[in-house]
Structures are given as C-alpha cells and as structure tokens.
Structure 1
C-alpha cells in the first residue's frame, strides 16, 4: 500500500506537465517541419502550394504589389533557377512570407521570425546568423549560376566550421543544452542541403554530401544520448507544501527553466512524476523523425542531387484596363 500511495496519478502528471507547457519550459530540439519539408524531394510541391495559397489570399491589387516586389528582385525573368529545390526553395519560401507580410502591412512583431522558430530563442548565434545571411542572399543571385556556386561554397565552409565548433562544445566540453542541440540539428539539416546544392552547381565533389550526411547522422546519435543524460540530471520537481506557510511546488527542466505549480501531491510521488515528465519530454522531441531525415537523405542522395525543378513566377499583366 505504501508503494501505491507513492505512485502519482495520471492527472497529477498531466497537470504539472501542462503547467510546464504554459510556462514555456518544455524543451524543444525538434527538426523544424518547414525545414524538413522544403529540404526533401517534395520541395517543389511545397513551394508551389505555398505560392498558390498566397494567390488565393491576396486581392488583385495586393498581388500586383507582390509582383512588383518580385520583379525588383528577379527583374523581368519569370524562371527562378532551381527555385523549387532544397535550400533555394527554402529561401524562396521565407522571401514570399516576408514580401506578403509587407503587402499586408504586418509589423515585425506580427510576423513570426522563421529563424527564431527554426533555431529557438538563440537565433543570434553564429549558426543562425550564417544560415540567415545565406538564405537572404539566395534570391538575389540564384539566376547567376557562377555567383551562386561561389557564394554557396563560401557559406558552406562558414557553416561547416560553426557546426563543428558547436558540436565540440557539446560533445567534448560537455556544454550541451536544449538551445545548443536545436541549433545544431537544424543547422546540420540546412548545411547538408547547402552541400547538395553545391554539387548540383558542380562546385564541390559529388561524394562530399554523403560523407557529410553520415557524419551528421552519427553525431546526432551521440548528442541525443548525451542530451537524455543531461535531462535526467536536470529535471526536478517538488510538491507544494500541505501546511502553513503554504508554498507552491515547482518544476525545473534545465538550468534557469523553472515554473511554480499548485498540483497537490505528497513528496514521495515526486520521483515518479519526474520519471513520467522526463519520458514525455523525450517523446515530444520526435527524435526518430530527425534520424529519418538524415537516413532518407542517404537513400535518396542521388535523387536529391538530380533535382532541378525551377520555380515559375507567373507573368501577370498588372496594367489596369479602362
């Protein structure tokens, strides 16, 4: 009976976990869904679907403004070279989001920063900065294959070094954290497809993408094991006091990530609550999806390299008739 009384109920666990969610302290190291979708064999479909959705949402006048903005970037050309492929498709997606926000008059606070979503709060890091700079440059040079190859190679090397530095800080110096691992996972995904695009442009050896992919898949396995240990060391919970002076309980998921709660339970149930919440946190990271991303890239590496879908900007007569 004593053991049963120390087993937390599902309602207790749910209540405390939900407080953690509401307080924004549940860790997130997931591979961003937009990144995984655009860095895939479905990239062209995803971008065309996004553009069709935009055309359906905007008025004729708003579409004319959008067209003018696109023309200022791509001149009179309606074909964006490799526009539906990999990192170029991802860059085009972000560009369209930004331009549409401008057309609709949305402020920066109203527009969700995609880099913050992808890389987490630490989106001023070196990995985030390099990725942001590269993807913002892509639309302006995409139709110049020589320049695109040159700049892609430059940013490939910059991002490679930044990711090595970040990996070593976690794996060697043991400075692993949710923020660092999320940066590395999403940065590695973008870097792999930056390398693949370099191969399409004949600026780097064909085999370099597979060796890079394998190193990231191997590194991911090691870092995930370390991360699970990190969470086991840091997730803590304490029950609210039952007698005066009444004090709220708390949930900690990692250093400086703490919320207070008032879910009543006895002290001996804390360990069971910690174990259950730790399991939920790890399940929420969808690690298998991230592993699959790098594994599928290996199986489809030749198909990814051969992708050559261009993105067509419909030529639209924006002059008004009288």
Structure 2
C-alpha cells in the first residue's frame, strides 16, 4: 500500500501527464502539422469536386475565361487562337463529367503551347492523383476515357458507346483495387488515393451515361426514375466501400504514424535552456513535422502516441469529407441527370480587332 502511495505521489509531483494535458498537446501537435507532407493525401481531387455539383457549367465557364486570359497574358494576342480551339466551338453535354473532361482538354491545350508564364503552376488532375505510378488499371482507363471523349465529343451516340464501355472497364478495375486493399492487405496511401478518385470519377461517368441516354431519347418519367435509382444504388455501394476502406486505412496508418517527444538543450549566455520537441513521424511517407514547446522543459519522457492518434482520426476533416462525398451526390439526382448544357469557347476569345469582346 505504501509503495502505491509513493508511486502516486511521484506522478503528482510532475513525473506524469494528466489526460487533459495529453489531449492539449495532441491537439497542438495535430494543428502544427496541418498543411505539411506528414498529413496523407487521400482526398478526391479538387477538379472532380468542382464539377460534381449542379453548378458545373458555370465552373467550366469561369475556368475557361481564366485560362484564355492566362494564354493571352503569357503569349500575347494569338492570331490563330480561335482556329486552334475550334473543336470547342460547340460541345454538347458540357456538364458534370463532360465539364470536367473539357476543362482537362483545355488545360492540355494550354500546356502544349509552352508559352505561358504560369505553365510551371499547371498540374493536371491525372498527374496529381497518380503521380509517377507505372502500372494502374484505374489510371489507364480514366486516361483512355479522356482521350475517347476528345475524339467523340461532337457525336453523342458514339460518346455514349465509349462511356458505357469504359465505365464497365473502370468499374472492374476499381473492384480489383478495392479487394486488394480489403482482402490482400495491399492498402497504402497511394492505393487509397487511386481508389477515392477512381470511384468518384466512375460515379460521374455513370451519371453522364444516364444523362446522355436521357438526352438522345424520348425518355419517360419512369425511365428517368430508373436512372436515378441505378445511380443512387451505385452511390450507396461506394459509400459502404469508403466506410470499410477508411476503417482499414486507419488501422494501417496507426502502424506507420509515431510520435516523439525529445528534450532539447540550448546554451545561451544566461546558461542552459531546455525545451521539448514534439514530432509526428510517418514511416510510410518518410516525413516528419511538429513544434517546439518552451514551457515544457523535457524533464520527463512523454508518451503521446495513443492519445495523438485518437485525436488525429477523430478530428481529421478529410475523412469526414470523404465519407460525405457519395451521399452528397445522391441529392438532386434527378435534376443532375436532366442537366444538358452546350459549351462554346468562342464567348471567351478576344474579339477581332475593331470589335468589342462580348460575352453571351
């Protein structure tokens, strides 16, 4: 009994941390690493998010206007700019996935000019998502669809055929990727990023397929309802897959994320000054970041790991956003499928000399 009292007295005198103190430093450490490379990037690319909603057509207009301004700024007035972009004069079904792919094709055109000052800042969606990946069924199918879209975008029936064909191919690739992560323990930050973006892209393909089928046929309300149900069921499936994959991913990251608290000593004119260095280390990403605390002078070894990991996974906003993406797509599905807007680059091009530029 006396030994136990002695131990408790020692901890109360400063040898240990209370749970409240652990929570405080866990929160401070997590806040300090926001925006650094130690936070894994498994999110859906901003370009996919931008064109997933009902405002995708206006998002494409805004992007196109900015892109043309960048081209002119970097290259001066291009006399043949209009003819170079003539394939974008009239593009049907320019909403949702259609708007996304058009933006990618326009971005590719800008990069091909190799004349703009902002070229170095242009990073395509595929490069951001797949980086230097050498072999990926998901990447290859998405790339093939973008290519086929550019070839068939003026022929809705042929584009619909390609969308159906490659949508099925992408679905198969995503199933293999999901199974490898859930059942073969091949989960990683890279594979999670590939799946989240591939699944979001595939759902948008599925919606675009429904949109084109409605657009080229005299569809009844029952047919539209059938499309809404099918898209909703796929969104539900991906919502469930996301839940299972994030559970698996969290368990994996708990094995790669460590914390360290190191007593540091700095020698100044007034003498020795001690402080504590708190670090978040990730063995998978081979990164670390953190902060220094000058009130805690590092007299005692601190064990933050469990508290920090719990705090991180409870407060990591990206996980919440990923869980909400597929349910959010189910909202306004009927209106989303019925959307059908034609895009024209011409309203963003400089007017011929002697005329004012007008926006229609």
Shorter-chain-normalised TM-score: which range? 0.7 to 0.9
Q: Does 1:159 align with 2:187?
A: no
> Which residue in the other structure is 1:86 paired with?
96
SS at match of 1:208: helix
Within the candidate set 292, 308, 311, 1:279 is matched to: 311
> Which range moves more in the overlay, 231-240 or 13-22?
13-22
> Which range moves more in the overlay, 224-233 or 45-54?
224-233
Deviations 1:266-302 (A, max 9, x none): 67323x2563266336634522222322112212221
> Which residue in the other structure is 2:269 paired with?
none
SS at match of 1:79: coil
Task: Go from structure 1 to structure 2 and tell me whether the alpha carbon gap of 1:15 and 1:251 turns closer, same or farther (over 3 Å shift).
Answer: closer
> Which residue in the other structure is 1:255 paired with?
284
> Which residue in the other structure is 2:50 paired with?
37
Task: Go from structure 1 to structure 2 and tell me whether the alpha carbon gap of 1:15 and 1:211 turns closer, same or farther (over 3 Å shift).
Answer: closer
> Which residue in the other structure is 1:101 paired with?
111
> Which residue in the other structure is 1:179 paired with?
190
Within the candidate set 295, 317, 321, 1:289 is matched to: 321
Task: Go from structure 1 to structure 2 and tell me whether the alpha carbon gap of 1:261 and 1:298 turns closer, same or farther (over 3 Å shift).
Answer: closer
Structure with max Cα Rg: 2
CA distance in 1, matches of 2:250, 2:204: 27
Aligned residues: 310
Contact 2:23 2:308 in 1 (8 A): no
The alpha carbon displacement at 1:171 in A equals 1.4
CA distance in 2, matches of 1:19, 1:11: 12
CA distance in 2, matches of 1:209, 1:290: 18
Contact 1:156 1:191 in 2 (8 A): yes
> Which residue in the other structure is 2:270 paired with?
none
Contact 2:29 2:291 in 1 (8 A): no
CA distance in 2, matches of 1:237, 1:276: 8
Contact 2:57 2:99 in 1 (8 A): yes
Contact 2:149 2:159 in 1 (8 A): yes
> Which residue in the other structure is 2:335 paired with?
303
CA distance in 2, matches of 1:139, 1:222: 35
CA distance in 1, matches of 2:345, 2:72: 17
> Which residue in the other structure is 1:47 paired with?
60
Task: Go from structure 1 to structure 2 and tell me whether the alpha carbon gap of 1:249 and 1:15 turns closer, same or farther (over 3 Å shift).
Answer: closer
Structure 1 stretches lacking a partner, 5+ long: none
Contact 1:15 1:263 in 2 (8 A): no
Aligned-residue Cα RMSD (Å) equals 3.5
Contact 2:101 2:149 in 1 (8 A): yes
Task: Go from structure 1 to structure 2 and tell me whether the alpha carbon gap of 1:258 and 1:20 turns closer, same or farther (over 3 Å shift).
Answer: farther
What aligned pairs does 1:199-278 form with structure 2 within 5 A after superposition?
Answer: 199-202=210-213, 206=227, 207-240=229-262, 251-255=280-284, 257-259=286-288, 265=298, 268-270=301-303, 272=304, 275-276=307-308
> Which residue in the other structure is 1:70 paired with?
85
CA distance in 1, matches of 2:302, 2:78: 59
> Which residue in the other structure is 1:197 paired with?
208
Structure 2 stretches lacking a partner, 5+ long: 1-11, 215-222, 266-276, 355-360
> Which residue in the other structure is 2:142 paired with?
131
